[in-house]
Every structure is written in C-alpha cells, then in structure tokens.
Chain A
C-alpha cells in the first residue's frame, strides 16, 4: 500500500513536471484502441452443478459415466444420447420433452457434440449444443480457483503448496474469482485493476470500462475505478429533480444539488465519498437520458429466438413444454447488454472501444430440490446465450465479443438426498465468433470421479481442478487487448502456471492451439 502510494506520487509529480498540468494519479493509461471489443462475464451464482450440465459420457473407468453415476445415484442424467434437432418446435416437440415432467426432462440424456468426447450437453440445452456444434462455443473442463498447480490429493495435503483461501465457501470463492488471486480475498477486482491501468479510456466518459448488472461487484472495483451500475428494462432516471413541472424550476434545483455535493466538508472521507456518488448518479442520469431512456434510441432486433419468438422475449411454458415458467432474469440482462453494446460500439452513438459487462444469474446453490430447480436454470442459460449471440450477429459485432460463464465452484459428485453440496472443480463455457477463437472444443480434462480417489479432497467428491480460472480469464483478456506486460497485475498467480519463461505459456492451450490465437 505504502509503496503504491509512493509510486503514484512519483508518477503524478512526473506528469505534472513534464506537461505542466495536474493529472489524476495514474499508473498507466489505456492503449490507443481504434476498434471495439467487449467481454461479457456471466456469474452462475451459487455454484452451478457442472456434472449435470455437461454429462461425463465417456467409458473410461475414472472419468467416465459409470463413476459419475456411482456418485450421483438418483440424481444422475441418463446415459442416453438425444438427437440434436436442427430447429425447435413448441411444447411436446421439444427434444428433451418427457410427458411435461421437468424432472424427467432434466434426466433424459444429452447431446453429443462432434469433436467433444468427454461430455454431452444436457438435453435441456439444445441452443448451447448448437453453439458448440457450430464452433461458436468451447468448454473449459476441470477449472477452478488455484494458486499453483495441484496434481492430486497428496499435493493438496502438502503444507508447502499454496491453496485457495476458504474453499467451498460461496462468498470467498466468488471473491477469488473476482480478485484474480485465489489466496487473497481482499484484493481489488481484476477488471477493476484493468480499469485502473487503462485510466483515461473513453476520455473520462462516465461509461468507463466496466458495467455491472449486480451492484458494486468486487470484480469491477479497482482502487480508483468502479463500475457503472445497470438494471434491465427502463433505466431509472431522476424524475422530479431534473424535470420541469408547473410549480418547479429544475435548472436552479439541479444547480443547488450540484453545489451541495461540491461542498468540501473538512475532508470527511464518508461525506466526500458520498459526494462523489451523488455526482456520478447525476452524470449517469445525463447519459441515460441521452442514450438509453427513450425507446427510439434502442435497437429493434429482427432476428428471432428458437421458437420464432421475438429475440429477447422469454419463451413461455407452451414454447418450452416445461412445468415451470422461466424466470427470465438472464435473458433480460443480456438484452440490456446487447443494447449497451449497440450504443457503445456504434460510431454515431457512444463510440467506445472496450467494455466489460458483469451479468448475474442466481439460484444455482442446489442443495435441495435440485431436480426441480436446476432444469429451469439450464434451460434459460441455453436460451439466453443463444439469443444474445443472435443479437450480436445482427449488430455485426459477434466477432468483437466474447461471453463466458463462471461459477462459485463446482458441486459434489455425491448426492445429499435431493441436491448436491459445495465442491471445487467445474466446467465453464466461452462463447464467441471471433476469428481468433478456437470454438467447438473441450479444453482441459475431467477429474477422476472416484469418491475418496486421487482428485477428491474429501470423501464426498470435491475435486481438485487442473486449470486455474485465472488462466481462462487471462486468455480472454489477452484477446481483449490486455498487454502481456500487465497480465500479472491482473492475475498475480498466473506465472505459477507457465510452461516456459513466457507469460503467454500460461494461457489456455489445447494441443498447440490457444483458446484465442
């Protein structure tokens, strides 16, 4: 801390000396981008059960279906390949349909993807299967929080090996995904640090690098930067404060509001902090009224969803043939992201260069009622990813955007009676149509599913991941334009995963190919 402050002072003084102007203390500034790119991070909050999402279907003894079934018991997906249709029809015509019973649909089987031998895609996710088939998505297997590689449970129990802090605890595992350092839950977020590094991006526009759909998420809080916060739907704007009506005078009132938050109050840190939040809210209000509030500013998508529904409308039970209606939360957020990407990427609108979006989809902590609650979540994830990708294609930015899922942790291979508990290794998805993207692949591996076996840190099937989530994020960041030289600022433990002296040897590879070339 002290050291950083010292460095900042030096740099601050330096810039003042050279240019004779006072600039905000900054460590680096944004590269001169001339194009647009976006990363979209989707948190499946609660710890998605990857093993029922991507069903281990191999015949190998330790990583295959039989071991999976051994742990899962009644909660296992059936070892049965479901034919992936070329398109969907309503109700009972859906490929996963099983007499309208969601639990049966959940367990019906999986889609096999050519070129992916390890897992099949749960039959409730035909759209994600299409994306994988078409080379627009890849899976990252056996991934999780890691400080350094851990080969097996002996390694895990070796006191000299560094492990993530507080495995199996939701908030701290999420925190470590966000800090980019699995043995530090107090660090700022990696996207926040990138925004710090790229200070000056977009010329100080309130719409900086980071946009969060779930509050002040640690991922996006840096030491000097914070995300802009959004909710789907019509954005909240100041109603009375800034609007004229018969008995008011908005200009004077807004000026008074501005003068009040500009009053310095004896350098009281809480007061000063709150003043900056008040200022931001008003700045954002101006921006929202300019670009977001009115419908005629928004893109009307002509592409259709898989049931021929309007692209971002939430399919009903009669479409999906399921017992439960979809919640729609993820679809609505990705619709809003699509609109923001439209505004951000369009030269005649905000004309931004780089954006990271954080989207949050909850409900994955399936300790209980998993076979009732998980199906509806998987169905929505698949639909939402597909719809979002369609919108990007219509906006002609599908080559400029990479969408990826992360989750607190994977879940136990064992079953607690009506659900699964907190574990570690999981499977993430990356969706993109970038020309540099190696789609349609399964990166990584599967754990040895033996309970109490070489990969299990307890006796319940909590498996050690072999790929660090930082490696996956670094691959995405590299494509996004983050220079190798600052990659360890974002992911301090990344060098532990190098295979040679170059930092890029820690990026995800399959054979000799990188996830993003």
Chain B
C-alpha cells in the first residue's frame, strides 16, 4: 500500500514509518499541513495518516480541504486529543478512523489494513459472508458451520460478521468495541475477551479448526487454515 504520513514529531514519525515499512507498505512523510494538502491532492495514496495538530494548517482543515475536492482517500486521524468528543469531531470532519496518541503500532497497522480495504470495491454489501465452512447470512440472521446451524445472539452475529469481513486481517479489541457496540467508552476490564471466548466456544464445534485466533498482545483474527 502507498501511505502518506503527516506527523510533525520527528521521532514518532520515524517510528511509525519503520513500523509501516516493516508491514510491507510504502510510506511518504511530511511534517506540515500545507505540504500535506498539496501532496494528497497531487498524488494518489491508499491511505493517509493525519496528525491533528500541525504547523501552518490544522489537521482537520487539511481534511476538510481534501474532502472538498471530492478526494475519498481513507484518512486515519492521529491525535493527542483523545477524548470522545474530539473523536466525534474528527469523524464528522470526514475522517474514516480516529486514534488517540499514544497508540500501539499493531493497532495502527490493523486499522490501516481495514481502512484501505474499505476503499476497495469488495463484498461490503454482500448479504452472505463465507470464511472456510462458516457461512453468515446477514439478511436472514443465520450462521451455519459446515451446514450446521449455530444459534447466536444479535451481538455475536455482529462480532462474527465483523471478523469475517476482515478475514485474514488482525482486528484489535478497540476496533471490535467501536464497530460492534454502539457506544464510545473505555471498558475497565477486557470484557471483549469474554465475548470472544464465548463466541469461539459456540462456533468451534467438536475439534474442528479454530476459526477465531488470538493474536497475542494485539487482538483477534479470523483465518481459514
């Protein structure tokens, strides 16, 4: 993937670039708002990582100017202003995702992957998702594994669907929380793990392949192996 990183803190930028390159992406860096806008409009990127507080032009203004030119490049806003209302402001300004500093590199990479994919014309609107022998009928609210029907709650269905849409990619706990539950909040305990373990129990019939795998220290992934 071709990624533009807009970040004025040199050390943090170096760290992000190292991480993103290591994940196999091409990354360009600029440290200034105006410069970022010029580059983003002239060239084509798969995703932009945008800091909020920048010299010369604020991150949200860059974003607004970019969106005004009908540029739909996925933008991940990165900010030290991590509170919920700031997050809502960022998303309203046209951001596709929002992360508060400090963050874990793995979280950033996981989000980048799903973001860039969101832009690609895939089976987003499809009503049936398939991963290995797992089939999720979104319209009918029916989940079957190897032809056997698995009774799931609505929330469990949403978790499975989110994992299946991002099959092969890592999904972090925060991403699950943001996308499956409709509240912006920080749970004190890792309740998500309990939900996953319950769900895993339900869909892992007998000794079949474990579809939902834990990625240590990062989150989960659904993989057909």
- Our verdict on whether A and B bind, yes or no, reads no
**B-side interface residues toward A, CB under 8 Å?**
none
**A-side interface residues toward B, CB under 8 Å?**
none
